[in-house]
Each structure stands twice: as structure tokens, then as C-alpha cells.
Amino acid sequence: MFKQNVGRVDRVIRIVLGILLPIIGIAVVKGAAGAAISIFGLLPLVTGLVGFCPLYLPFRLSTAKQSTRH
């Protein structure tokens, strides 16, 4: 599997957004825009739960703490 590159605070933010965006998409925004927001909201939820974001790879980004062990 992939090495985690999403840190604790980043994960919490992603999970909260991943829960809120689909609710907003369904309850507040109607039609195709609401559906798009709901589906888009699943991406941060999944990356937050898994701890890995593939969009970080090309930019060599990581919000996860690096282990000091070698």
C-alpha cells in the first residue's frame, strides 16, 4: 500500500468536510450542482479515512509527521 502522507489535523479537516459537503449538496443545493457537491465531498472523506492523498504525490507534499527512526 502507499505510505501515509496526510497528517492528523489534515485528516480531521478532510473527514469533517467529507461529511458536511454531501449534506450541503443534498439539503441545501438542489439539482446537478447539489449532486456534484455531494460526490465531490466523498473525496476528502476517503482520503481522510485512508490517510493518503494521491494529489500530494506529484508535488512531494506530506502533512504527516515523519518518523525519526531509521
Considering only CA atoms, which of 46, 24, 43, 44 is closest in space to residue 35? 24
pLDDT given at position 69: 52
- The three cell numbers of residue 51 are 490517510
**pLDDT per residue over 48-70, tens digit each?**
999 999 999 999 999 998 754 54
Cα–Cα distance measured from residue 10 to residue 12, given in angstroms and rounded to the nearest whole number? 6
The reply to whether the predicted model has a pTM over 0.75 is yes
The per-residue pLDDT for range 6-29, each reduced to its tens digit, is: 999 999 999 999 999 999 999 999
Exposed/middle/buried for residue 41 (C-beta within 10 Å: 0-12, 13-18, 19+): buried
